[in-house]
Amino acid sequence: MKESLMDILCDPLDKSELELEVDERDGDEILEGRLIGTVTGEVYPIEDGIPNLLPPDMRD
């Protein structure tokens, strides 16, 4: 994902803002990292460049 995507993403649980933590980039692509709910504290992983913003109870 590109960092600009942060402008339109929110925590699916309460629509509050997310904080981005990056582990690995390739140019302007964020490949690995996580999005963290600033209110809920929920952690949403970014894997292979795809943020997984399913609520915890809907993940595999």
Partner 1 sequence: MTDLAERRGMNTSVYQPAEDSGLLAQAAVGRVSGRVLEVGTGSGWVAERLATKTDADVVASDLNPHACRQAAERAAALRADGHRGFEVVRGSLVEPFRDDAFDAVAFNPPYLPEDLEAARDDWMEVALTGGEDGREIIDPFLDTVGRVLKPGGTVFLLVSSFTGYDEVLARAEANGFGHEVVVQESYPYETLTVLALE
Cα 1 from Cα 56, distance rounded (Å): 20
Instruction: Please tell me whether residue 51 binds partner 1 under the rule CB under 8 A.
Output: yes
Alpha carbon distances (Å) from 59 to 3, 4, 44, 52, 54: 23, 25, 10, 9, 6
> Checking phi first, is residue 2 left (phi over 0); if not, alpha (psi -120 to 50) or beta?
beta
Beta carbon of residue 28, minimum distance to partner 1 (angstroms, whole number)? 11
Residues from 2 through 41 that contact partner 1 (CB under 8 A): 2, 5, 7-12, 15
The residue count for binding partner 1 (CB under 8 A) is 20
Instruction: Please tell me whether residue 1 binds partner 1 under the rule CB under 8 A.
Output: yes
List residues near partner 1 by CB under 8 A.
1-2, 5, 7-12, 15, 48-55, 58, 60
